[in-house]
Amino acid sequence: MENVHKDITQKLMDAFSRFRRLHRGSPLPGLKHSEIRILFRLKKIMATNECGARISELSKVMRVTSPTVTQLVNGLEDRGLVERSIDPDDRRSIRVTLTQEGEAVIQKAADTFFAEFSSLVSHLGEEKSLLLIELLTESFDFLRNNTPTKFFRDKE
């Protein structure tokens, strides 16, 4: 019985690993996955703070160093997708905001993601899709709440 449990555990780990690798791609040519993540994060922050985000904020929520975020923002700024401005509440601080072009790129990426998942729902059918949602949600909650390491912890 223990060998069966180990085999199933390994297969489950392999399945999660495949999804992680699948997620690394970018839905839009010319943009890295990490750049799209920053754009989506900025959109979320700007929904509650139209002044945008500080580099340190982005660094914290994305779990990467500030220099990494600065490099990504530099590239996005060069392409006209984000812009920097002085924080109106603290003139020593810089805020990053989306441009109209950045908003358009996010919309295109969101439409692409939705279409891909919509095709998965069509492939699996309604019943299996709902079961998958239930199992993934239950798995996420279990791993987030019952693992001692930070490996499965989320910050959102």
pLDDT, tens digit, for every residue of 118-149? 999 999 999 999 999 999 999 988 888 887 76
Q: Let me know if residue 20 belongs to a domain.
A: yes
Q: Let me know if residue 151 belongs to a domain.
A: no
Ranges in the chain, pLDDT < 70: 1, 22-27, 149-156
pLDDT at 156: 46
pLDDT at 34: 87
The residues near 132 (Cβ < 8 Å, ≥ 6 apart) are 124
- Counted domains in the chain: 1
The range of the structural domain enclosing residue 32 comes to 2-124
